[in-house]
Chain A
């Protein structure tokens, strides 16, 4: 069961084109990078809203390694930047190595913050995954002593 304790959204910034390296501000999530190459120009634009949601971990085993791997894999499917915060620490939600440092136990709160054009889809999918990772590893392998 998901408990969304806090959700916030910041407005979408307009798309900008041009040759300058542009930073729209500290928390807007709009980054425009242009490489000025004589033969071609590429503009990478990660414009989109920033959505943040806090989820309580329900699994008795806590946020263990298997859901971390699933989270990282799911996060990587989105273009949005994904940031995970737990007890003052924050890291990249697409990095298994970063997630391994999140030893969130049952009852702990984990905040997911996503920025990008697919932020809405990303925040839904990722927080649902976090909240429903309810099976312990042992239950899944069907060990008799855990049933």
Chain B
């Protein structure tokens, strides 16, 4: 499962307003909801699942990136989004540094293989410092879309 396939393009945030870990997670899930992906009570439940997962151990894996994720019964296929913070978020990352780029993944309950491979794909992309720098330099959703398309040679996105 490639990032360019599962990222909901309409939910990409090029300039996060929130400044806390919980705040940005909430903002990203709300963005997915606005793009049509969660209804009512599911929204709060998804946020809760992601925050609980963070309590088990930060998904801030260093180098300014984080991969918050959870499984949830309301999604039929793996979806996600990408967000950039200009000022950085304290995320309790393994290297102690703030997080500037977040890729969120929400998976169905019963497909552990897809979930693992998606996390692998995201890590592979975010390992590339040039790609991360380009994301941080992007000022609009359209620019980030274009970076995702170029990344894996895709010309169409998911909306």
Contact = CB atoms under 8 A, between A and B. Distances in A.
B116 A64 contact: yes
A39 interface: no
A96 B67 CA distance: 13
Given A60-B112, A63-B116, A103-B116, A137 B56 contact: yes
Contacts, number: 65
Given A65-B59, A65-B119, A105-B113, A137 B53 contact: yes
B120 A101 contact: yes
A100 B120 contact: yes
A69 interface: yes
Interface string B12-39: 0000000000000000000000000000
Nearest to B117: A103
A106 B123 contact: no
A145 B123 contact: no
A66 B94 CA distance: 13
Nearest to B127: A97
Interface string A59-76: 011111110011000000
A102 B67 CA distance: 16
Contacts of A100: 61, 119-120, 123-124
Interface residues of A, number: 26
A102 B121 CA distance: 11
Nearest to B69: A65
Interface string A97-111: 100111111100000
A101 B124 contact: yes
A138 B71 contact: yes
A64 B113 CA distance: 10
A54 B144 CA distance: 41
A6 interface: no
A114 B132 CA distance: 32
A5 interface: no
A60 B112 CA distance: 8
A143 interface: yes
A31 to B, nearest CB: 27
B26 to A, nearest CB: 18
A102 B109 CA distance: 20
A141 interface: yes
A138 B112 CA distance: 11
Interface of B: 49, 52-53, 55-57, 59, 61-63, 67, 69, 71, 73, 94, 109, 112-113, 115-117, 119-120, 123-124, 127
Given A61-B115, A105-B113, 9 more contacts: A62-B112, A65-B59, A69-B94, A100-B61, A101-B124, A102-B120, A103-B120, A137-B53, A140-B56
